């Protein structure tokens, strides 16, 4: 399922127009992104938790040349599925 499929599904399930469903889906994604940028976590009970993990700088190796490279520290978005989502999938 891609974003357009999700929007169509939300529109059908909620009885919204496609334009309104697009605004709603975009607003949810934008708010999750904004919270993660601030360093907050987003907990959706029964669905899961979005958070930011700090990845330390490390040393890697270029597979083509074998040269050693420095990989800088970075922040990575992380998602942990909740019990409700795990149960629904299994």
Interatomic CA distance for residues 70 and 60, integer angstroms: 6
Percentage of the chain lying above the pLDDT 90 cut: 100
What 3-state DSSP class applies to 72?
A: coil
Global pTM reads 0.80
Of 68, 36, 35, 69, the closest CA to residue 54 belongs to 36
Distances in whole angstroms, Cα of residue 76 to Cα of each of 9, 41, 51, 73, 82: 29, 13, 8, 10, 19
Q: What is the pLDDT of residues 13-49, one digit of tens each?
A: 999 999 999 999 999 999 999 999 999 999 999 999 9
């Amino acid at each position: 399922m891609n974003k357009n499929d999700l929007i169509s599904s939300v529109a059908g399930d909620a009885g919204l127009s496609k334009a309104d469903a697009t605004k709603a889906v975009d607003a949810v994604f934008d708010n999750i992104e904004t919270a993660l940028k601030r360093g907050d976590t987003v907990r959706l009970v029964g669905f899961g938790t979005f958070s930011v993990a700090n990845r330390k700088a490390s040393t890697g190796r270029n597979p083509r040349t074998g040269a050693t490279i420095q990989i800088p520290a970075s922040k990575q978005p992380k998602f942990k599925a909740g019990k409700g989502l795990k149960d629904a999938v299994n």
